[in-house]
Structure 1
Amino acid sequence: MILVFGGTTEGKQVASFLDEACIPYYYSTKTKVSFKGKGIPINGALTKHELEQFCIANNIKCIVNASHPFAEILHDTVASIENDIPIIRFEREFTARVKHKLVTYTNSYEESLCEFNKRQYKSILALSGVQTITRLKSYWENNKSWFRILDRDVSRSIAKKANYPSSQLLFGYPQNVEEEINLYKELKPDIIFTKESGVNGKLDQKISAALKTHIPIVILKKPLVSNRYLCINSIEELNQTIIAYIE
């Protein structure tokens, strides 16, 4: 059996590959999601010990971590297990970082907040997801803000728990750069904040729209993962690797 951590476009790609290859697998997500693959869906966060025991009990031959780039706790938990099994990080595509006076990359939320305050930005449009609401609370409590989140009950619940004003929530994703530009022009924020979420996170669109509307954009760099991972970003390489592990 293979254990896949998904809930992302990359997770679905891995599941589709395993389905076609007739390789049995578990598909693990933090929250319950609609899953139509042939694997066995499971959900809920696992501790290091729980993950180790799950791998032993279910004869896991390989773990494929295809979760979101910013799922740092999961990345660290998987890398920390003491089971002697291969661990693969199936990554999305990331383009080269943009060098422009309106584009700033930061290493942490704390550094991002320092940038907002140093530049005296008085309003923010955060395209960084619902989990970042609490991380930026010290800023939005004192400044105008909008957060764009997924249009689902669990996201609304997280925002509500953080006491974030529901009237300042935006839902869904624009489908192209023009829709993004129109949103920026409508809200006129002093700063755009987002994560380095790669091609699938439509980062290029966000940067392009920010440059065309002359609005500064601060981008939180993707976290590094443990060197215990074998990092792969193509299905072809994943195929060769997994076949070698399970034969």
Structure 2
Amino acid sequence: MILVFGGTTEGRKTVAELEEAGNPFFYSTKQGEQDIALLHGIPLCGAMPENDMIAFCRSHSIRLIIDAAHPFAAHLHHTIARVSRQLHLPVIRYERIYPPRNPAILWVADYDEAIRMLTDKNKTVKRVLSTCGVQSISRLQPLKQRGIRLWFRILPRQSSMALAYEQGACDEELCYYPSPSDAERSTTEDDMALFERLHPDVVLVKESGESGGFEDKTRAALSLGIRVMAIKRPVMPEGFLTVNGEHGLRRMVEHVLPEFYPLHSGLTTGTCATAAALAACFRLLKDECPTSVPVILPNEETIPVDVLYHNDGASVIKDSGDDPDVTNGLEIQASVIQTRGEQHENIIIKGGKGVGTITLPGFDSPVGESAINRVPREMIRDNILAHFPDAHLVVTISIPQGEEIARRTFNPRLGIVGGISVVGVSGIIKPFSKAGFLDSIKKCMQVAKASGCDRVVINSGAKSERFVKVYYPALPSQVFVEYGNYIGDTIRMASELHFPQVTLGVMLGKAVKLAAGNLDTHSKKSVMDKSFILDMLREAQCDDTVIRKAEHITLARELWKIVPESQLQRFAEVVIKYCASHCESLLPHGQLTILLIDEDGNIYHS
């Protein structure tokens, strides 16, 4: 069993990752006030002193502890460390992502140093706003005794307000975040409005990381000319296995407790290429050959990737986990050479042997370029510049067996010749058989139902989900469910769970397949029916010029550029009409809303 200490955004993300395994785990919070839906997780509420924690771990056969608690919960962190040493339990610390320390901010070690600095006789501080939480109220009372006006920003929870009064705060000293949630407590606009109203001389903050809104608060204060004082985060105990994102968390759990997940995750070719390129840079520019390199993924978390070295650079052996991927086991190589900085870009990325070449339009790169998608290119460039900001390099990615393997993929049909593509959006492969994927969808739908919301929003993946979340900003995150390719099965689940309202967010590639009657849009099950697309264009009253251009498309998303802007809404309505004709019968007692999303996130509806 796994024991998680949460109550934070990181705790929420931990739950989301562990729920995918379908196995039970314990989720502990001090107050029990976090609004979170648990399907397989077992909630625990209340403080857990050291002896109680030891007894609990022994009696419930705990084999792994995940510390996803607030970074300033120092007492809890050290209790977990002592328990782990006594019971020989591994601890994964889900750490936050922290920006570099801004020299415009005054950094202090603790509250005592903050008080000394704020009451220095040379200071002219008269008004202080603390955003350090309700626990800071008693710690900062000496400032009030020195005649400094104090305000405390806290969560609008009954427990927080009661504790604030216990510590001596009065109503005029309290101001509140917009929401009682631990996530997305405020926006920069909220912060600026509060700071402008109070006009403090100093805003006191904790180094709470990106998920704690640290940059929003400090940016707002500094932009208004308000001084910022920040309390540095405590140092974590030694021996914790640190991750700073959900992908790294899953991979660490798979490593420490391999049986927890039925299927294990893997790395995309883009991540492998990035790691190989970064290792080649360490070798060339620093004469170092680390056995693993830290790769920053698109969601800004960092994971370690093992690397090898050869005469021309470095390489990574691709591990696809349990995903049935034909590229599993391939060697992804990278070589780098320095240039004189004469080229337009600092980092030039090229494809070598085994990397395909694009011969048809409709991809991230133009015809003639190597088939290295936009996200992997950005990953390679960003990771190199993070370590070598002044570097001017040409990076060549090669996959020796790529041309042979490409024959077993859809690349030839898509006009990519000479090898495979270097792809990946998240940087991580999550493996699912159809049965496993559908089971995962079902679990997510059940969690969405447990949220109490009347609407579930189903979407194909991270990109479409990002856009529909903007469309429904007030809905909780657990009602957004990915269907992958299984649109029909997911709508049937929504019907079985008696959702009165279902929104289907779909991008054009899947939409044209669905409009033609394909409820499973996987490329192995269905392909784009070009003649049907032409019929839909005619029904939308597009002229012959549009029809002729559409006859030569390789990917459906090219239609967004072919159809004139004045006719896009009408074309979208035709596509949505046919999609609805195949889906509405699957939801006989509910209302189905279909949103068609273009590549820029614009949303069309009927």
Deviations 1:179-206 (A, max 9, x none): 3222212111111101000111111111
Give the secondary structure class of the aligned counterpart of 1:129: coil
Rounded Cα–Cα distance in structure 2 between residues aligned with 1:234 and 1:215: 32
Rounded Cα–Cα distance in structure 1 between residues aligned with 2:103 and 2:10: 27
What is residue 183 of structure 1 aligned with on the other side? 194
Rounded Cα–Cα distance in structure 2 between residues aligned with 1:239 and 1:180: 34
Which aligned pairs between 1:220-231 and structure 2 lie closer than 5 A?
220-231=231-242
Q: CA deviation at 1:178?
A: 2.8
Deviations 1:41-81 (A, max 9, x none): 00111111111111110001100000111111111100111
Give the secondary structure class of the aligned counterpart of 2:101: coil
Rounded Cα–Cα distance in structure 1 between residues aligned with 2:28 and 2:224: 40
What is residue 247 of structure 2 aligned with on the other side? 236
> Structure 1 residues 219 and 63 mapped into 2: Cα distance closer, same or farther (>3 Å)?
same
Q: Find the partner of 1:78 among 67, 80, 95.
A: 80
What is residue 54 of structure 1 aligned with on the other side? 56
Q: CA deviation at 1:97?
A: 0.7
What is residue 99 of structure 2 aligned with on the other side? 95
1:104 correspondence with 2:106: yes
Q: CA deviation at 1:177?
A: 1.9
Which aligned pairs between 1:11-160 and structure 2 lie closer than 5 A?
11-33=11-33, 34-38=35-39, 39-81=41-83, 82-100=86-104, 103-118=105-120, 119-141=123-145, 142-160=147-165
* Mean Cα deviation higher: 3-12 or 208-217: 208-217
Rounded Cα–Cα distance in structure 2 between residues aligned with 1:2 and 1:19: 12
* Mean Cα deviation higher: 33-42 or 73-82: 33-42
Q: CA deviation at 1:234?
A: 2.1
Identity %: 34
Q: Relative contact order (alpha carbons < 8 A, sep ≥ 6): 1 or 2 greater?
A: 1
Which aligned pairs between 1:160-179 and structure 2 lie closer than 5 A?
160-173=165-178, 175-179=186-190
Q: CA deviation at 1:175?
A: 3.7
* Mean Cα deviation higher: 220-229 or 136-145: 136-145
8 Å contact kept, 1:122–1:143: yes
Aligned letter for 2:61? N
8 Å contact kept, 2:11–2:69: yes
8 Å contact kept, 1:127–1:193: yes
Aligned letter for 2:102? V
* Unaligned residue ranges in structure 1 (runs of 5+): none
Q: CA deviation at 1:15?
A: 0.6
* Mean Cα deviation higher: 27-36 or 195-204: 27-36
8 Å contact kept, 1:10–1:92: yes
Q: TM-score, length-normalised on structure 1? A: 0.95
Rounded Cα–Cα distance in structure 1 between residues aligned with 2:32 and 2:192: 33
Deviations 1:73-107 (A, max 9, x none): 1111001111111011101111111012xx10100
Rounded Cα–Cα distance in structure 1 between residues aligned with 2:256 and 2:149: 52
8 Å contact kept, 2:177–2:186: no
Rounded Cα–Cα distance in structure 2 between residues aligned with 1:203 and 1:87: 26
Q: CA deviation at 1:12?
A: 0.6
Aligned length: 245
* Unaligned residue ranges in structure 2 (runs of 5+): 179-184, 260-606
8 Å contact kept, 2:65–2:90: yes
1:213 correspondence with 2:224: yes
> Structure 1 residues 44 and 175 mapped into 2: Cα distance closer, same or farther (>3 Å)?
closer
Rounded Cα–Cα distance in structure 2 between residues aligned with 1:79 and 1:131: 23
* Mean Cα deviation higher: 27-36 or 176-185: 176-185
Rounded Cα–Cα distance in structure 1 between residues aligned with 2:50 and 2:77: 11
8 Å contact kept, 1:35–1:41: no
1:8 correspondence with 2:12: no
Give the secondary structure class of the aligned counterpart of 1:133: helix
Q: CA deviation at 1:238?
A: 1.6
Aligned letter for 2:249? L
Q: CA deviation at 1:24?
A: 1.5
Q: CA deviation at 1:23?
A: 2.8
What is residue 202 of structure 1 aligned with on the other side? 213
Aligned letter for 1:198? G
Q: TM-score, length-normalised on structure 2? A: 0.40
Q: CA deviation at 1:143?
A: 1.8
8 Å contact kept, 1:4–1:63: yes
Rounded Cα–Cα distance in structure 2 between residues aligned with 1:152 and 1:245: 37
Rounded Cα–Cα distance in structure 2 between residues aligned with 1:175 and 1:223: 24
8 Å contact kept, 2:153–2:174: yes
Rounded Cα–Cα distance in structure 1 between residues aligned with 2:256 and 2:103: 41
Rounded Cα–Cα distance in structure 1 between residues aligned with 2:187 and 2:247: 29
* Mean Cα deviation higher: 234-243 or 155-164: 234-243
Rounded Cα–Cα distance in structure 2 between residues aligned with 1:54 and 1:115: 43
**Max radius of gyration: which structure?**
2
8 Å contact kept, 2:186–2:213: no
> Structure 1 residues 175 and 50 mapped into 2: Cα distance closer, same or farther (>3 Å)?
closer
